[in-house]
Amino acid sequence: MIVVLMGPPGAGKGTQAERLASQLALAHVASGDLFREAIAAGSPLGRLAQEYVDRGELVPDEIVVQMVLERLKQPDCARGVILDGFPRTVAQAEALEQALQAEGKQVDLVVELVVPEAVILERLTGRRTCRHCQAPYHVRFNPPTQPGLCDRCGEPLEQREDDREETVRHRLEVYQRQTAPLRAFYAERGLLHEVDGTGEVEEVAARLARIAEGA
């Protein structure tokens, strides 16, 4: 099963993708996490991506597509995957469709988490991420058991460089301009479902699980 989780920055994609992936025993592939890991490791890919990520711009399609398609070849993706943050442009969606078709596969379900802008700004300014394993937290809505430390691996949490308010506003504009047209692409294929992304993490997870069960 291949699920695409869409939504503006701060819609809760990372949190929900992780839960849904473990419920359905699918791999969770988050393009933003892959870039942050490459940047932290100082790899050539990381050096290429860093300036785009820091400015809240999209990394060029060829780079992202190659990185994600490589990741999808890993054995843990064989049963299926939740794609989080990819595709983000129509060109990426087309490249994904072609690559899957070549293997007799296809995207089975696309869910867009819908969240108003004011809620997004509140969420992102309180967001903290584990710098080691990228697990997502929020100082108010999803705090770790021990303040400032990751529940999963014990490493310190940090605020993402691109979660500053000015950069967040820019990322929201980028979403509207470059990613929102994907809705039409997937709606035409009868794959798109909109899910209300507001409320408690558990409530949103339950809405998503209902849709995934029906797919």
Contact between 138 and ligand AMP (CB under 6 A)? no
24, 27, 50, 52: which one binds ligand AMP (CB under 6 A): 52
Tokens linked to 114: 């819908």
| Choice among 19, 36, 71, 88 that is catalytic | 88
Q: Which of 78, 65, 69, 101 is nearest to 27 (CA)?
A: 78
Residue 55 makes CB contacts below 8 A (sequence gap 6+) with 162, 167, 170
Contact between 59 and ligand AMP (CB under 6 A)? yes
Contact between 124 and ligand AMP (CB under 6 A)? no
Stretch in the footprint of ligand AMP (CB under 6 A) among 58-66, 184-192, 195-203, 205-213 = 58-66
Of 123 and 171, which has the nearer Cβ to ligand AMP?
A: 171
| Paired strand residues for 137 | 128
Indicate if 140 belongs to the active site.
Answer: no
Q: Which of 9, 7, 8, 27 is nearest to 18 (CA)?
A: 27
Indicate if 127 belongs to the active site.
Answer: yes
64, 130, 192, 204: which one binds ligand AMP (CB under 6 A): 64
8, 31, 109, 175: which one binds ligand AMP (CB under 6 A): 31
**DSSP assignment string, 59-104:** PPHHHHHHHHHHHHTSGGGTT-EEEES---SHHHHHHHHHHHHTTT
Q: Which residues are tagged catalytic? A: 13, 88, 127, 160, 171
